[in-house]
Structure 1
Amino acid sequence: MKKILLSVLVVFAAVAGLSAQTADEVINKYITAIGGADKWSKILSLKVEGQIEVQGLAIPFTMQAVHMKGMRVDAEFQGNKIIDITTPTKGWSQNPLMGKSSLEAITAEELKSKLDELDVQDEFVNYKEKGSTVEFLGKEEEEGTSYNKVKLTTKNGNEKTYYFDLVTNLIYKEETTTKQQGQEVKASVKYLDYKTLENGIKMAFKSDMGMMMMVTNKVTINPTIDETIFSGN
């Protein structure tokens, strides 16, 4: 019985090792395609300017982030200021269109789902050191194109499934399931229009979320950011 059990364990260990190895192969090709881990590891702050396109409207936004310290998004729609702030311990949001006329603290559950966004160096760069795990889910075809599927589980417990293009090695789609106000919310984002920036890294300049499209117009790498903007005051 012990020998049989040992054999079974060896088989499962081999399968698990194969999954991790295959996932790492996909991830390594992706990291190379977006410019390499060395260049991404040197990004300590980021500023993104663009617009959200929804129902024929274009809502301008500015995102400012300091790696693992804070992220703030500012937008304005019809005179209404929309603000979203995330830090490792707290988060706030203001959206008059949703009944929030001033900054209000978000719930612990909402904060947990947003913590991964504080990583401006791409989640797959040095993912092991960040406490994340990966699993290769095989290949899947969508609209005539085959993709490698990899599941990423972050140290915060957030699970995401990524689809990697077999030709470009870039991420085509991301699927997530998060909890908001006690309800599970599924989301899917397609990453399009990849461009190479001045420091050699590559980023998607369009994020198709189905009902809306986020379009990036300008990216500033390592800008000086006053961290008091993350205070929630």
Structure 2
Amino acid sequence: MIKRMMLVFFVLLVLVSGNVYAEKADEIVNKCIKAMGGVEKIKAIKTMQIMGKSFQGAMELPVFVQIKRPDKIRVEATVQEQVVIQAFDGTNAWQIIPFLGSNEPNIISEEDAKFLKMQADIDGPLIDYKKKGNSIELVGEEDMEGTPVIKLKVTLKNGETENLYFDAENYMLLKRSIKIMKQENEIQVDGYYSDYKEVDGVMLPYTSESKAGGRTISLFTIEDVKMNKEIDDAVFAMPPKSKPKEEPSEKK
């Protein structure tokens, strides 16, 4: 009898603590959204145009980013006077890399497009996460290079996961981690965010660093941001490939 009562008590304790953690996670989510500017101001952003520079090794590349609801993004980087384009139109991710010998657009693989699609979501992973079919778990507090951070684990509707790290003091996003498959190897891709500034009531990180497998692959700094300018959907659409030239028929 005592054993049964202890078992019931243990089950109840687990259920209660689970509910408390779920409530705590939602509390943290709300604080993080508020720190970024709040739901109303974030949802008021329909388009974003970002001008900046990307530093990759010794190269300094001018970058122009355009984002539009829902889930559209186009990134242009000028490399040796040639423009590299990566874009997502809400359905297909594509790219043009002219210095590889072709100006033709090509579809980006699902794995390689993950980080691009993630950046296309203006709302980010927290707003309306339940409506999106996602779940969020409060993992706890950690130390990130001397800064106390709160770690949230996001499980997407498709079963994939990502980890978010927020400053425990001001609730600003400091790090976002996902895992992708590259040549049959799983690689962790981390985005680090800093130098936050307010633009139209919303906090944006003016410096972001991308790392893969622990190594820095790019550093991006924002120079200017424009909100809610008209952007045609055609900007994000993959252009048609050039038709092969027909060889002249031989005269008989």
Q: Same fold (TM over 0.5)?
A: yes
Q: Assess if the C-alpha contact under 8 Å between 1:40 and 1:122 holds in 2.
A: no
> Is 2:88–2:237's contact at 8 Å kept on the other side of the alignment?
no
Distance of 1:20 and 1:29 partners within structure 2: 14
- Secondary structure class of the residue paired with 1:177: strand
Alignment-derived partner of residue 207 in structure 1: 208
**Distance verdict in 2 for CA 1:205–1:8, change over 3 Å:** same
Q: Distance in 2 between matches of 1:170 and 1:187?
A: 19
TM superposition shift of 1:158: 3.6
Distance across 1 between alignment mates of 2:46 and 2:159: 24
Whether 2:165 is the aligned partner of 1:163: answer yes
| Cα distance in 2 for residues equivalent to 1:44 and 1:9 | 47
Task: Classify the secondary structure of the residue corresponding to 2:105.
Answer: strand
Query: What is the aligned partner in structure 1 of residue 234 from structure 2?
Result: 228
Once the two structures are overlaid, the 10-residue window that deviates more, 92-101 or 57-66, is 92-101
Residue 118 of structure 2 corresponds to residue 119 of structure 1: no
CA distance in 1, matches of 2:121, 2:50: 14
- Relative to structure 1, is the Cα distance of residues 14 and 108 closer, same or farther in structure 2, using a 3 angstrom cutoff? same
Q: Which amino acid aligns with 1:26?
A: I
Query: Match for residue 86 of structure 1?
Result: 88
TM-score by length of 2: 0.82
The equivalences for 1:171-210 within 5 A come to: 171-197=173-199, 199-209=200-210, 210=216
Tell me the TM-score normalised to structure 1 length.
Answer: 0.88
Counterpart of 2:23 in structure 1 is 21
Q: Closer, same or farther in 2 for the Cα pair 1:18/1:96, shift >3 Å?
A: farther
Question: 1:126-183: per-residue Cα shift (whole Å, max 9, x none)?
Answer: 2222222101111111222211111112334442111111112111112211224543
Which moved further from structure 2: 132-141 or 181-190?
181-190
% identical equivalent positions: 27
Instruction: Give, in angstroms, the shift of residue 29 of structure 1.
Output: 1.3
Unpaired segments ≥5 residues, structure 2: 211-215, 240-252
Moved more, 6-15 or 214-223: 6-15
> Which of 36, 42, 67 is equivalent to 2:44?
42
How far off its partner does 1:56 sit? 3.1
Greater Cα shift, 208-217 or 5-14? 5-14
Contact map agreement 2:150 2:165 (CA 8 A) in 1? yes
TM-aligned CA distance change 1:145 to 1:107, over 3 Å: closer
Task: Give the number of the structure whose alpha-carbon radius of gyration is greater.
Answer: 2
Residues 12 and 102 of structure 1: CA distance in aligned 2, closer, same or farther (over 3 Å)? farther
Distance across 2 between alignment mates of 1:31 and 1:174: 15
> C-alpha separation between the residues in 1 aligned to 2:235 and 2:43?
24
Distance of aligned partners of 1:18 and 1:103 in 2 relative to their CA distance in 1, 3 Å threshold: same
Q: Which residue of 1 aligns with 2:150?
A: 148
Deviation at 1:74, TM superposition (A): 1.0
Give how far 1:52 is off.
Answer: 0.4
Residues 59 and 113 of structure 1: CA distance in aligned 2, closer, same or farther (over 3 Å): closer
**Partner Cα separation in structure 2 for residue 139 and residue 81 of structure 1:** 42
Query: In structure 1, which of residues 210, 217, 228 is the aligned counterpart of residue 223 of structure 2?
Result: 217
Which residue does the alignment assign to 2:107? 105
Give the Cα–Cα distance (whole angstroms) in 2 for the partners of residues 227 and 180 of structure 1: 30
- Cα distance, 1:186 vs structure 2: 0.7
Native 8 Å contact 2:179 2:189 kept in 1: yes
After TM superposition, give the deviation of residue 38 of structure 1 in Å: 0.8
User: Displacement, 1:7?
Assistant: 5.0
